[in-house]
């Protein structure tokens, strides 16, 4: 196995050079990944009430984010392509907020430090 991400990436780069993906393969691969990520996010957002827990915004799922209540507990990042179960476990340490409120939370954090 590869020790770290860089090793693995280097290996993948080498492998892809020998056997490159066709444009079509590449597109469908990225599409699938994107679709899966959106699907999981939608499910997660719905699970958490589907709206910003601060201002109640619920118009667009894309504008809803998970804010870690305790950054020290941060595990796998939600944006990565992980299983729904893992996402759920991680999201339970978070509150669902809209991008606006999320920015405000962080602005306050930076302001106080």
The Cα 41–Cα 32 span in angstroms is 14
Report in angstroms how near the CB of residue 97 gets to Zn ion at its nearest: 5
* Minimum CB distance to Zn ion smaller for 87 or for 96: 96
Report in angstroms how near the CB of residue 53 gets to Zn ion at its nearest: 8
Which residues are at the interface with Zn ion (CB under 5 A)?
52, 54-55, 57, 98, 101
* Minimum CB distance to Zn ion smaller for 52 or for 87: 52
* Minimum CB distance to Zn ion smaller for 54 or for 82: 54
Report in angstroms how near the CB of residue 112 gets to Zn ion at its nearest: 20
Q: Is 88 helix (H, G, I), strand (E, B) or coil?
A: helix
Q: b or e along 12-35 (b: 16 or more beta carbons within 10 Å of the residue's beta carbon)?
A: eeeeeeeeeeeeeeeeeeeeeeee
Residues in the chain, overall count = 113
């Amino acid at each position: 196995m590869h020790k770290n991400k860089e090793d693995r990436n280097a290996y993948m780069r080498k492998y892809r050079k020998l056997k490159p993906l066709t444009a079509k393969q590449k597109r469908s691969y990225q599409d699938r990944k994107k679709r899966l990520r959106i699907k999981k996010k939608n499910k997660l957002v719905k699970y958490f009430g589907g709206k910003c827990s601060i201002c109640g915004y619920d118009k667009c799922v894309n504008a809803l984010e998970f804010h870690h209540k305790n950054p020290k507990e941060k595990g796998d990042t939600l944006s990565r392509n992980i299983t729904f179960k893992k996402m759920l476990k991680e999201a339970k340490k978070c509150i669902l907020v809209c991008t606006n409120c999320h920015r405000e939370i962080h602005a306050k954090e930076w302001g106080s430090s």
